[in-house]
Amino acid sequence: MTESSSAVLRSLTGLAFSKGHGTGNDFVLVADPNGEHQINSAAVSVLCDRHQGIGGDGLIRAVRSEHLPEGRELLEAVPEAEWFMDYRNGDGSVSEMCGNGVRVFVHFLLDQGLADLAEGKSLSIGTRAGVKVITRSEDGYAVDMGPWEFIYPDQAAAKATDSVVNAAGLEVPRPALSISMGNPHTVVALAELAELAATGLYEAPEVEPKPVNGTNVEFVVPAEPLVHNGAGHITMRVHERGVGETQSCGTGACAAAVAIRYWAGAGAPDDWRINVPGGTVNVRFFVADDGREHVELSGPATLVARGVIA
Ligand SMILES: N[C@@H](CCC[C@H](N)C(=O)O)C(=O)O
């Protein structure tokens, strides 16, 4: 351990944390109701280090929205969004949204006695991508992720792809489609599972044009046939901005379903199962009360440990 990382850990002595995951996308979770802990990006990367820290794809701080400027702004429109998910990637960078993270966040709030979520009720959680509404579901928790958007709408409409991606193991760059789920995604379809397995994600894929704020990149293989039992089926691997390859990405699963459904055209289903290395998440498209098409993400949330920084 370097001197600076041990100094960072010393400065956090006594901090209580939990460790949790959603389909293998794992997080260090800290309850900071009154916004008293400034966990800077150096501290996040030390805590998320798998060898010299606790280990995690990201760190999630649970803070009351009133204690953050971006939370106070959300409260003006949605006063019930008491809690804010302050999400950081494992390298310390900030991301707008984490789909697996928000389910684990709610599970953590319930475990800590900081919130209630009775059957048939919902919880509104503040995030940097707006307020997300969470309910209980058969597979764990369901999150209304809101509407999706093309990042380059003109190109997407004209050509159905808007960028190209290359990665280790792929012989030629592949066409891709860029989708925003509040955070950026670039989705690439591959023909078969063997090609997906041979794709090297130990370094960031190259994306052209290079997105200014970086991007998460999803490699997906549609099932053959694509639709069975009324749902579309996809297998996905992901390289996450600020992390590397992860076992799962909730916003990535939504972006993958958006892209494959768009490419499949009229008649494509509204229900999707996304198989990732860490399990399965479900994605559903529906028209919400605001008259817009929203994406719902559902899946499990698990807490595995509680501890204190020594
Ligand atoms: N794993 C997350 C996404 C986390 C943020 C992402 N790495 C980014 O920088 O946008 C998910 O489940 O959505």
Q: Distance of CA 122 to CAs 80, 130, 237, 298, 303, Å?
A: 10, 16, 30, 14, 20
Using the mean position of ligand 1's atoms as its centre, give its distance from the Cα of residue 90 in Å. 10
- Segment 74-99, tens digit of pLDDT: 999 999 999 999 999 999 999 999 99
Using the mean position of ligand 1's atoms as its centre, give its distance from the Cα of residue 240 in Å. 6
Q: Distance of CA 274 to CAs 178, 237, 252, 279, Å?
A: 18, 10, 10, 8
180 ligand 1 Cβ < 6 A: no
243 ligand 1 Cβ < 6 A: yes
Residues making up the annotated binding site are 25, 89, 99-100, 183, 216, 240-241, 250-251
Domain residue limits, the chain: 3-146+300-308, 149-285
Res 1: pLDDT: 62
Does the interface ipTM go beyond 0.95?
yes
**CATH superfamily name and code, 149-285:** Diaminopimelate Epimerase; Chain A, domain 1 (3.10.310.10)
In CATH terms, the fold of domain 3-146+300-308 is Diaminopimelate Epimerase; Chain A, domain 1 (3.10.310)
Token readout for 132 is: 């997300």
Closest by CA to 181, choosing from 60, 294, 71, is 294
Residues making up the annotated binding site for substrate are 25, 89, 99-100, 183, 216, 240-241, 250-251
| Residue 13 CB burial class (10 angstroms; 0-12, 13-18, ≥19) | exposed
User: 36-75 burial, b if ≥16 CB within 10 A, otherwise e?
Assistant: eeebeeebbbbbbbeeebbebbbbbbbbbbeebeebeebb
3-146+300-308 against 149-285: fold identical: yes
242 ligand 1 Cβ < 6 A: yes
Q: Tell me: pLDDT of 159 over 90.
A: no
Span 293-300, average pLDDT: 98
Token readout for 53 is: 């820290």
Task: Report percent pLDDT > 70 for the chain.
Answer: 99
